[in-house]
């Protein structure tokens, strides 16, 4: 896919097995929404996985692990695979409003001791208010460069109940807040360019713009994925 710039996948876990081997040198934006990350082939040779060298933003919305099937070693392998093909991103978005997200249930994807994020500048977190601040202090203080962490206000208010921890976090990163309804990325759907949908129909009840808003309920829909295929 030499001219692919944007790929957004919804409820279609099968394509995760393809992502690791996809040759898309111009891919800039990857959005996975309501995807079971357990479908990633944890036994594949990580040395053979393609890194999307132009990837700037990865959004993981309502993504999860099947904990009945995956042990911690497998979860770590999934994290390693995600980091491999998203290695060059500047913006990571993690959002969950249904079940606890993968980042709240054993993932170490944002652990700078384990994984390199050489270009990462911004982390957007739209998670439940029950997720504590301490895991981020331990991770972000090991970042080799300064990063901005943007959190939804409900989570920030929860963190503010632990002022000492919050002050420590603010020493290791720049902390910003989002209001409910704020867009979490600059390019909602649709963008310019061609549009392909697997079943040929675009349900009127589903819009990417709403999905990409902080604190917004996630609309349901059938499995499908969108490709914006642009040429220079």
- The dihedral sign for the CA sequence 31, 36, 39, 40: positive
Check if the beta carbon of residue 47 is closer than 8 Å to that of residue 25: no
What is the radius of gyration, based on Cα positions, of the chain? 17
d(CA 205, CA 225): 15
| d(C-alpha 146, C-alpha 135), whole Å | 17
Helices (H), the chain: 16-19, 72-85, 134-140, 153-159, 163-172, 208-211
Contact 45, 14 (CB under 8 A): no
- How far apart CA 46 and CA 83 sit, in angstroms, is 10
**What is the rounded CA–CA span in Å between residue 29 and residue 220?**
22
Q: Strands 29-33 and 4-10, how do they pair?
A: parallel
pLDDT by residue for the chain (232 residues), tens only, comes to 889 998 888 877 677 778 888 889 999 999 998 888 877 777 788 888 889 999 999 999 988 876 666 688 888 888 998 999 899 999 999 998 766 778 877 788 988 888 889 999 999 999 876 667 777 777 787 887 889 999 988 888 888 888 888 888 888 899 999 998 899 988 765 544 444 444 545 444 556 777 888 885 544 444 344 444 443 3
The residue extents of the domains of the chain are: 4-229
Q: What pLDDT is recorded for position 96?
A: 85
Beta strand pairing call for 148-152 and 91-95: unpaired
Residue of 140, 44, 60, 53 whose CA lies nearest to 94: 60
User: What's the N-to-C CA distance of the chain in angstroms?
Assistant: 13
CA dihedral 143, 147, 151, 156 (to 10 degrees): 70
pTM of the model: 0.84
Architecture of domain 4-229: Alpha-Beta Horseshoe (3.80)
Nearest to 4 by CA among 31, 21, 32, 23: 23
């Amino acid at each position: 896919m030499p001219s692919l710039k944007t790929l957004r996948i919804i409820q279609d876990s099968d394509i995760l097995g393809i992502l690791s081997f996809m040759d898309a040198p111009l891919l800039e934006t990857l959005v996975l929404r309501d995807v079971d990350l357990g479908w990633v082939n944890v036994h594949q040779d990580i040395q053979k996985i393609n890194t999307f060298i132009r990837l700037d933003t990865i959004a993981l919305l309502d993504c999860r692990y099947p904990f009945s099937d995956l042990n911690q070693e497998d979860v770590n392998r999934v994290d390693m695979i995600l980091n491999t093909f998203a290695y060059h991103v500047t913006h990571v978005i993690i959002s969950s409003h249904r079940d606890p997200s993968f980042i709240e249930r054993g993932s170490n994807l944002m652990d700078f001791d384990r994984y390199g994020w050489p270009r990462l500048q911004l982390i957007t977190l739209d998670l439940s208010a029950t997720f504590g601040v301490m895991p981020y202090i331990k991770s972000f203080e090991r970042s080799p460069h300064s990063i901005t962490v943007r959190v939804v206000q409900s989570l920030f208010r929860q963190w503010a109940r632990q002022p000492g921890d919050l002050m420590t976090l603010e020493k290791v990163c720049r902390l910003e807040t989002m209001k409910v309804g704020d867009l979490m990325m600059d390019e909602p759907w649709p963008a310019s360019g061609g549009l392909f949908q697997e079943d040929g129909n675009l349900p009127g009840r589903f819009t990417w713009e709403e999905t990409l808003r902080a604190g917004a309920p996630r609309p349901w829909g059938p499995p499908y994925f969108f490709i914006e295929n642009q040429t220079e």
